[in-house]
A and B are shown apart, each in its own frame.
Chain A
Amino acid sequence: GESVGLHLPTLSVQEGDNSIINCAYSNSASDYFIWYKQESGKGPQFIIDIRSNMDKRQGQRVTVLLNKTVKHLSLQIAATQPGDSAVYFCAEGEGNKLVFGAGTILRVKS
């Protein structure tokens, strides 16, 4: 499968703790942002999105925060579980395409 993470930042958390994954984006004109989860050997899995006119959106166990002033996006995962272990990508929407960031590895320790 896909072996990622040779040079990706890694976040290690204890099972049950909350995780916060951060992302800096570049285009202030992007009108939406998306978080994806990618497990080894699989395609990216949609988690949650947020439009640029919002600063917070909540899903099931996840919250996305958008700070347009500093062009920063974060994904908060509550009560992190071993199944959350993966690479997480933020993506910004530019017209009809997504521009992905570099990714962060999340490792959940049991």
Chain B
Amino acid sequence: DTGVSQNPRHKITKRGQNVTFRCDPISEHNRLYWYRQTLGQGPEFLTYFQNEAQLEKSRLLSDRFSAERPKGSFSTLEIQRTEQGDSAMYLCASSLNRAGEQYFGPGTRLTVT
């Protein structure tokens, strides 16, 4: 399968714990995006990488959130001191050279108890 992959698919954690999610984009894609989706809503943009550079961050991305793409391939999204409001589906997408035609992974569903 050469699509975008995300791990884990599901994560249940207790409030206050740290979690880290991984995204592996389509191999030749230089652009990588993170979005968050809550029930009944469309995805909301969180952050964007071009190669290893993080070029844009949403105001939704609080100080507890950090994303990296160290070698310009896979990316990680870490949430520190999780809160119940962080419960959502976290989606990763990638594209080649232009922001349109983004291809999404299956998402990581986070539940904070």
Contacts and interface: CB of A to CB of B under 8 A. Distances in A.
Contacts of A36: 104
A97 B106 contact: no
A32 B35 CA distance: 18
Contacts of A46: 101-104
A100 B89 contact: no
Contact of B45 (A4, A5, A49, A97): A97
Given A2-B89, A43-B91, A97-B33, A32 B100 contact: yes
Interface string A93-106: 10111111111000
Given A43-B106, A45-B104, A97 B48 contact: yes
B56 A100 contact: no
Contacts of B101: 34, 46, 49
